[in-house]
Amino acid sequence: MSQNQTVHFHPAEGFAERSRAAVNDAHLRRSFRGAMDFLQAKRLSQFPDADELSALRDLGKAIRLHALANLPDLLEQLEAKLQANGIQVHWAETPDQANAIVLDIAHRHDAKNMVKGKSMVSEEIGLNHAMEVAGIEALETDMGEYIVQLAGEAPSHIIMPAIHKTRQQIAELFAAKVPGVAYTDNVDELIRIGRDVLRKKFAAAEIGLSGVNFAVAETGTLYLVENEGNGRMCTSVPKVHIAVTGIEKVVAKLEHVALLNILLPRSATGQAVETYQNFISGPRKPDELDGPDEVHLILLDNGRTQAYADVQLRATLQCIRCGACMNHCPVYARIGGHAYGTTYPGPIGAIISPHLLGLEATYALATASSLCGACVEVCPVRIPITDILIRLRNEAQAASAGKLRGGGRARKPLQSSIWLVWSWIYGQPWLYRIVSWLMSRGRALAPSNQGAWTRSRTPLNPAPQRLRDLLRRPASG
């Protein structure tokens, strides 16, 4: 069916071109600005007490640090507990392996229809495309995901996938793509249309696929939050439920979920609590009426162990995927999610993508930040995003390849020579004195075309006399 045409991420190389196109797209700019303002205000309204928020973020960070510090043990404990609960556990190092596991399960059940709850890991591995190639219809059932799938696009936000689309665009899309639907831009009506389509699919699907918000090692519980009820349908109606998640999503104790979930919905959508919270602890028991006969969990690495192996970059894995960093990012607000070219956009995308795709292909994302720190300020688990961005810039331009995949590949001889000369000038006070004196004296020669700077600004010219010259004059009051 034509719905299975979700675009796989493009290589991140054309970032400059895509971001230029985005900032010049007035419609896109308006959509994102409006959405970001709305989400920022909603989040703030959920955290009226700054001190309490600060304490909660300390707690969130501590829980995630604890989980990561014990990651190998917790993953083993999780596997054992899940198996004891009757959940089958699979390990995948690469996206291809993860897709092969899903396909293997699907083939064993002779499945042709899959309904999907929202899962960014499934986007990361290109699952829809892999299913389409194998002749399986993988239908998105989250309304936002359904919309981008209909449009043949990728999500532009990790929480709100269709945030770049207006109501009118969605109306046109439905009229064009959903059989027998006339144009309407009434939101309730659009949702009813989507729901009608999806209801039939839930009933027919052999497999339901979902993501996981937290996997609890102590109890072997998969925790999944959502607002539309589609996640509960996907995980309880079909005979087989397959959950996919990254290995970093494990937490030690059930009570940790309760604490993290104070932060997650408030930081993400500005909700005090999600509409649906699913605690999945196994397949249907013989005396139960509802639930799948089989539950599988696929634990994906896909480069996460590279981040894990580095004491500073490991903080990247603290992320609970709330999206607050992108909601507050001045760059994301201007260019939207698609310009990044990666599954995960925004600040978290810039720091996680190098591990998934290599630093060479994703380096531009790490540079696309003014290091303003708005993301650091709102991160519910206090990921030092700006420090990590600086570290990635260092690794990408280092003289040797280093430990990161694609490290050192962004080093350019001209650029590194410029910084070397800069360090000579500013590292030798006598040389700086001469150079800055020459610049002041020669200010009439300062170019009016200062490259990228003067495309949008007037030239920046040296003052006729430096501060050090003026201070040397006798005080005149």
Partner 1 sequence: MNPSIPRPYPPKPANAYLFATCLIDQFAPQAGLDTVSLLQREGISIHFPEAQTCCGQPAYTSGYPDEARIVARRQLDLFPQAWPVVVPSGSCAAMMRHHYPKLFANDPVLYAKANELAGRIFELTEFLIHVVGFKRVDVGGSCTVALHTSCHARREMGVHETSAALLAGLTQVKVVRQARAEECCGFGGTFAMRHPDISAAIVSDKVASLKESGAQRVVSADCGCLFNILGRAEKIDQSAAKGTPSLPGEHIASFLWRRTSGGEA
CB of 425 to partner 1, least distance (A): 8
Q: Kindly state whether residue 434 participates in binding partner 1, applying the rule CB under 8 A.
A: no
Q: Which of 2, 287, 456, 474 binds partner 1 (CB under 8 A)?
A: 456
Q: Which of 5, 10, 14, 23 binds partner 1 (CB under 8 A)?
A: 23
Q: Which of 20, 27, 167, 403 binds partner 1 (CB under 8 A)?
A: 20
CA 133 → CA 60, 198, 201, distances in Å? 41, 22, 20
Residues in 46-105 at the binding interface with partner 1, rule: CB under 8 A = 50-51, 54
Count CA within 13 A, CB hemisphere, residue 297. 32
Q: Kindly state whether residue 462 participates in binding partner 1, applying the rule CB under 8 A.
A: yes
Q: Which of 279, 426, 434, 442 binds partner 1 (CB under 8 A)?
A: 426
Enter the tokens of residue 79: 């596997």
Enter the tokens of residue 412: 């350019």
CA angle 138, 143, 144 (to 5 degrees): 95
| Binding segment (CB under 8 A) for partner 1, from list 91-99, 129-137, 342-350, 361-369 | 361-369
> CB under 8 Å to 238, separation ≥6 — which residues?
114, 115, 202, 205, 206, 207, 208, 292
Q: Which of 200, 285, 412, 457 binds partner 1 (CB under 8 A)?
A: 457
CB of 461 to partner 1, least distance (A): 8
| Binding segment (CB under 8 A) for partner 1, from list 12-20, 139-147, 272-280, 344-352 | 12-20
Q: What mask, x for binding partner 1 by CB under 8 A, covers residues 384 to 403?
A: ---x--x--xx-xx------
- Buried b / exposed e over 87-99, threshold 16 CB at 10 Å, is bebbebeebebbb
CB of 20 to partner 1, least distance (A): 4
CB of 345 to partner 1, least distance (A): 13
> CB under 8 Å to 364, separation ≥6 — which residues?
12, 13, 15, 16
- Interface with partner 1 (CB under 8 A), residue total 65
Give the residue with the Cβ less far from partner 1, 179 or 429: 429
Q: What mask, x for binding partner 1 by CB under 8 A, covers residues 103 to 142?
A: ----------------------------------------
Q: Which of 373, 401, 402, 409 binds partner 1 (CB under 8 A)?
A: 373
Rounded Cα gap, residues 363 and 352, in angstroms? 11
Q: Kindly state whether residue 183 participates in binding partner 1, applying the rule CB under 8 A.
A: no
* Residue 120 contacts residue 211 (beta carbons within 8 Å): yes
Q: Which of 93, 182, 422, 438 binds partner 1 (CB under 8 A)?
A: 422
CA 180 → CA 61, 170, 174, 195, 329, distances in Å? 50, 15, 10, 14, 40
Q: Kindly state whether residue 327 participates in binding partner 1, applying the rule CB under 8 A.
A: no
β pairing state of 137-140 and 276-280: unpaired
Q: Kindly state whether residue 376 participates in binding partner 1, applying the rule CB under 8 A.
A: yes
Rounded Cα gap, residues 51 and 164, in angstroms? 34
Binding residues vs partner 1 (CB under 8 A): 16, 19-20, 23-24, 29, 37, 50-51, 54, 330-331, 334-335, 367-374, 376-377, 387, 390, 393-394, 396-397, 416, 419-420, 422-423, 425-429, 432-433, 436, 439-440, 451-463, 465-471
